[in-house]
Structure 1
Amino acid sequence: MELKAMKWIVGATALALVFGQTPARAEYPEKPVEMTVLFGGTAQTIGQLLADLMSKNLPNPVVPVARTGGGGSVGYKYVNATDPDGYNIVWNSNSISTGYHGGRTDFDYTAFKPIARISVEVPAFAVRADAGWETLQDMVDDIKSSDKKLKVGASGKGSFTHLTTMALLDKLGIADKVIHVPYDQGKAPVELLAGRIDAALQWPGQFISHAEAGTINILCVTGKDRITALPDVPSCAEAGAGDLDITMWRGLAAPADTPDEVIAILEAAAKTATGSEEFIAASKTVGFEPAFADHAQFGEQIAADDKWIGELIKDLGLNQ
């Protein structure tokens, strides 16, 4: 750089300081933003796609980093300990409440500031096709009329899917005739097809290809309505499980003191990503529902869900 040009830059900076101005800052984010992904499977698939799509609308990329374990607690603890500067966010879910009320974290949802809700997933309850149960009621009648114990897969005590499974079995009146069999996350179809379990509740994307092949029967989904990916599968309430209505939301959050202007930038990028054709197309094959909500609406839902999750965990004795 020529000496004359350098003197001009130094002089301009000095004048800005004299008149109470500061040199323009680079636009946030000035470096990559780490998105902590808490789980594998569907959560990881959606999270990676979301990060890629958000990166197209930001000066620097959003980079998904897997920090799994402890029903999400490993990742939540990591992000909670980072600086609230917008460079560490978490791909969160109802697991923030199951983790706290289940005793895996010593902080609740208020440790984070909501950015946006992105999607909703409705768990599906499935059995092996050779079990002979075409409907949920077939299974219930068989278990109740015999000495059989239903071997149900569980991907972690106190996890969202375990909590939902317990709530479903309680509604069906067979919770006392169940043996819970632990397995690694994402292994539900493998365990079902190998005959180690009789039933499992997981994300639809894990079951759809097997259901199409005729090896697994999906008996119901746990939300109050049927889902786009499984239009012929009834809700569990339709199938006889009373008023059961449990869904999993996923979204983005940052440490509680993250500046509002940073939250707004991330929210805008997330909204554009969620409404894209690519994201909507993926939802139909992976098995989730795009469901954008802004930071305020998302915050209200998190607080409301935390209340009923805490009450349900207590009622089912899963906080002991």
Structure 2
Amino acid sequence: MNPIRRRSLLQASAAALPLSVAGKWAFAQDRFPSKPITLIVPQPAGGDADVVCRSLQKKMQDVLGQPVVIDNRGGAGGNIGTALGAKAAPDGYTLTFVNQGTMALNPSLYPNAGYKVESLAPVTWLTSIDLVIVAHPSVPAGNLKEFLELARKEPGRHTYGTAGNGSANHLAGEMLKSMAKVDITHVPYKGGGPAIIALLGGEISIAVAFPLAALPHVRSGKLKALAVTGKQRAKALPDVPTVAESGVSGYEFVSWMGLAVPRGTPDPIVQTLHAAAAAALKEKDVADRLSAGMTEPVGAGPKEFGDLISREGARWSKMIKQFGMKID
């Protein structure tokens, strides 16, 4: 934000407060940030969320002039870490990684998620992502169409792993089961990283995964990609068909990621944090790394991200009812 504009906002906001409070408030804002910032990632280390946040970490630190400390708090489909972030002090020193699962799906899936979407204020829409369906090499299918045929012949035998109950991966998998009319058992893990590890060990047949965590293993030959969930084939996997091309007409699933702070965080602080995240996304090495993982940088601000959360919450509430999704 332009320094003159920022100073004007601070002065106007401070003028509405009692003198003693206004003085302390303005002083605190002018010094932000004056200490390390915690970024809560509601997934274990090694998952897609962790990869994205660590990609942004250095540049955000450079812009803010303070360390950004990543705190992995996985579990309950992201609810544990998200609830922790929502209950933090609204002073800008606690950022929370949020995504489609925690902001649009979990409120409709969990009777008590431990937080309310309204308790978090949007900061930055970070990315838009197609998922990838990957299989263990022992699975006798070279693509999703062959795997679905196999699953229909052997109902209930095959399993699919995800980042947990209520995650975007979970919904994408349940949509696939419903639309393809197949019986595949869901196996939830405490994050995308653990799900990929389980797949590498042959514990499950396939995983509906975020590509940042899965693609390195596809490229090394340890896993095979069966399909991508977007409308079009991914540039990173041009020979891998979409789910729709694999015989599931009309299927499309695109996820997203972002950053949020506790509701009530002053707008100048929100704008400062957004500027740091947006600057990190523009770094060529960051953008190249994300794009290579089928993760497209967006960088939109609080209003655009808030509008997305509202639209997606309404949309997926209806979809969850339609597909009869329940927490295992």
TM-score between both structures, scaled by the size of structure 1: 0.84
Counterpart check, 1:111 vs 2:111: no
- 8 Å CA contact 1:101, 1:319 repeated in 2: no
**Rounded Cα–Cα distance in structure 2 between residues aligned with 1:39 and 1:141:** 33
Distance 2:246 2:154 in 1: 21
Task: Kindly tell me the number of residue pairs found equivalent between the two proteins.
Answer: 299
Q: Match of 1:260?
A: 267
**Structural RMSD (CA):** 2.5
User: In the superposition, relative to structure 1, how do residues 57 and 165 fare at CA in structure 2: closer, same or farther (>3 Å)?
Assistant: same
The answer for the alignment partner of 1:13 in structure 2 is none
Candidates 31, 37, 50, aligned match of 1:33: 37
Cα distance change, pair 154–37 in 1 and its aligned pair in 2 (3 A): closer
1:47-74 deviation line (CA, Å, top 9, x unaligned)? 1221221111113232222222221111
Contact 1:35/1:51 (<8 A) preserved: no
Question: One-letter code of the match for 2:43?
Answer: F
Deviations 1:211-235 (A, max 9, x none): 2343432111112122333232222
Q: 1:195 to 1:49 in 2, by over 3 A?
A: closer
Whole-Å Cα distance in 1 between the matches of residues 41 and 162 of structure 2? Answer: 21
Once the two structures are superposed, residues 230-256 of structure 1 have per-residue CA deviations (whole angstroms, 9 ceiling, x without a partner) of 232222122222222222211111111
Alignment match of 1:230 (pick from 231, 237, 243): 237
- Cα distance in 2, alignment partners of residues 317 and 289 from structure 1: 30
Pairing partner for 1:305 from 284, 301, 312: 312
Secondary structure in 1 aligned to 2:128? strand
What is the DSSP-based 3-state SS (H/G/I as helix, E as strand, rest coil) of the residue aligned with 2:113?
coil
Displacement of 1:299 in angstroms is: 0.9
Distance in 2, Cα, partners of 1:68 & 1:189: 15
Q: Give the AA of the match of 1:31.
A: K
* 2:147 is aligned with 1:139: yes
2:175 maps to a residue whose letter is: A
Q: Hey, what does 2:295 align to over in structure 1?
A: 288
Q: Residues of 2 paired with 1:66 and 1:189: CA distance? A: 17
Q: Deviations over 1:184-204 (max 9, x none)?
A: 532334433443322211112
1:61-72 matches, cutoff 5 A:
61-72=67-78
Question: Which of residues 208, 217, 223 in structure 2 aligns to 1:210?
Answer: 217
- Asked if structure 2 preserves the Cα contact closer than 8 Å seen for 1:97 and 1:309, the reply is yes
* Contact in 2 for aligned 1:237/1:245 (Cα 8 Å): yes
Residue 4 of structure 1 corresponds to none
2:194 is matched with which residue? 187
Which structure 1 residue ranges, 5 or more long, are not aligned?
A: 1-17
SS of 1:129's equivalent in the other structure is coil
CA contact (8 A) 2:151 2:184 kept: no
Moved more, 108-117 or 280-289: 280-289
Query: Which residue does the alignment assign to 1:93?
Result: 99
Distance (whole Å) between structure 1 residues aligned to residue 245 and residue 313 of structure 2: 26
Equivalent residues of 1:100, 1:106 under 8 A apart: no
Please give the alpha-carbon distance, in whole angstroms, between the structure 2 residues aligned to 1:109 and 1:22.
32
Q: Secondary structure at the match of 1:91?
A: strand
* Aligned residue number for residue 227 of structure 2: 220
Give distance in 1, aligned partners of 2:104 and 2:245.
27
Provide Cα deviations, 1:5-42, integer angstroms capped at 9, x if missing partner: xxxxxxxxxxxxx9xx9598343212222111111312
Rg larger in 1 or in 2?
A: 1
Alignment CA distance shift 1:272-1:297 (3 Å): same
Q: Distance in 2 between matches of 1:86 and 1:147?
A: 50
Check whether the contact 1:188–1:206 (CA below 8 A) recurs between aligned residues. no
* Structure 2: runs of 5+ lacking an equivalent: 1-18
Residues 114 and 299 in structure 1, CA contact (< 8 A), matched pair in contact too: yes
Question: Residue by residue, what CA displacement relative to the aligned partner does 1:129-160 show, whole Å, maximum 9, x if unpaired?
Answer: 34331222212223334567322224422222
